[in-house]
Structure 1
């Protein structure tokens, strides 16, 4: 199916697809009320609900063969919904995976430059479509959560969640006390305000930093501002979930209790 043919905005609720499409959906919920398209995609494991809104706005989603760009559109579980031409079906099993991302992997579902993705480390082991909750930049390593639960991802990603993320930063030169002090108080760099919850200098070239909100490349930009080169940056904790003995490149599924604790923030 060509998703980039007739790009036409159709508001409202779509009627159900043909009986053949309905019978092909092993995970369909009969008689369910229509739901918003972005929520449907999130339940299919496409991405978080917010990311799915972007997919829709970019014209990557079709419903019953028609490109849709309005996130408020509602669909039934029997409608044929496709993302980039791939048929989306709600997944019956929710998966929550903790990965120790190696440096050199990018946090995206696909990379236009052909770089290795963190998701590719999980693909051989899970039939579900998993996506990362938040990001680590390419040169950083450490803990990152993958899931196909859009609501769970939304809760964890929202700044109001208050979930702490702890990092170990190792540098090539000694770290001045001023860096830690100003980072804790808050510092504005090129118009963006950065503030960590704590910055604990453990040795002359090792700092433990705890962030809550976490802006794009926040730690790296603060260290660059003080002209302190970073040798390695590793996330060792997300909320109450610690790295423990999880080797680089390894992963494990989160327990129900761990998911409950993360959702409780």
Structure 2
């Protein structure tokens, strides 16, 4: 890896800024002052120091975000705020992206990373990774609905959905509302909402609680995020 790229990757500054810092003699590689930006370094083996501080290279980043409503699950959008826009300047990287998407009006767990291989593993239908949601549904969810969800069925546009696990937390018969949890292994467009529409009900609030072995940290306020712990990351990778 070029030295200026390494410096940019470790947060010293942009590649343009890194070149200026190199010219000032502020960077050493294995004890030697290096001023050439194109110098090739081993990001793991070489000891690279900037202004007396040894720099540590990190290839992949993993953030758990508590996505709020009104934010788009994308890296950029012309009209709306995106989940990447919620990152602080010191955490922002151009290669970070959301793993899958949550609808604009859906809250909950969203993973941001630059690890494309892990994202593919989590999203691949062949891997059968659970996605668990909590929802408030307009309508009385019944044991008949549970049976239908368990066997799989066709949506209103005839598209088939695979079997899922529907659980009823509570039912308010006076307001004709139900609180449910749903575990699916697919990620079709507006899938949860469309599944309930197919049985004559409407989702009025939706929140993702879990993806694979990764649960949303309820201490995170809406719009907040944090890096995954090693334990969480190991658990997530078990879904491979």
TM-score, length basis structure 2: 0.69
- Greater displacement, 221-230 / 94-103: 221-230
- Which structure 2 segments of 5+ residues have no match? 8-39, 41-56, 172-177
Give the structure 2 partner of residue 150 of structure 1: 116
From 164, 167, 177, the equivalent of 1:197 is 164
Counterpart of 1:57?
none
Structure 1 residue 146: deviation in Å?
Answer: 0.3
TM-fit CA distance, 1:221: 0.4
Aligned residue for 1:231? 204
Bigger mean CA deviation after superposition, 158-167 or 134-143? 158-167
Contact 2:72 2:103 in 1 (8 A): yes
The equivalent residue for 2:24 is none
**Is 1:259 paired with 2:217?**
no
CA RMSD of superposed structures (Å): 2.2
Match of 2:93 in 1: 128
Q: 1:25 to 1:159 in 2, by over 3 A?
A: farther
Q: Evaluate the alpha carbon distance shift between residue 23 and residue 195 of structure 1 in structure 2; reply closer, same or farther with a 3 A threshold.
A: closer
Alignment coverage as a number of residue pairs: 182
**Post-superposition offset of 1:98:** 0.5
The SS at the match of 1:135 is coil
Contact 2:63 2:226 in 1 (8 A): yes
Are the aligned partners of 1:171 and 1:231 in contact in 2 as well (CA < 8 Å)? yes
Residues 186-210 of structure 1, C-alpha deviation per residue, up to 9 Å, x if partnerless? 0112231113431011112111100
Q: 2:67 aligns with which of 88, 91, 101?
A: 101
Matches of 1:216 and 1:180 in 2, distance apart?
Answer: 21
Query: Where does structure 1 differ by over 6 angstroms across 4 or more consecutive aligned residues?
Result: none
Map of 1:59-98 to 2, 5 A cutoff? 92-98=58-64
CA distance in 2, matches of 1:239, 1:142: 14
Residue number in structure 1 paired with 2:224: 250
TM-score normalized with structure 1 length: 0.63
Question: Given that residues 184 and 198 in structure 1 are in contact (C-alpha distance below 8 angstroms), is that contact kept between their aligned partners in structure 2?
Answer: yes
What secondary structure, in the 3-state scheme, does the structure 1 residue paired with 2:189 have?
A: coil
Judged with a 3 Å threshold, the aligned counterparts in structure 2 of structure 1 residues 206 and 142 are, in CA distance, closer, same or farther, namely same
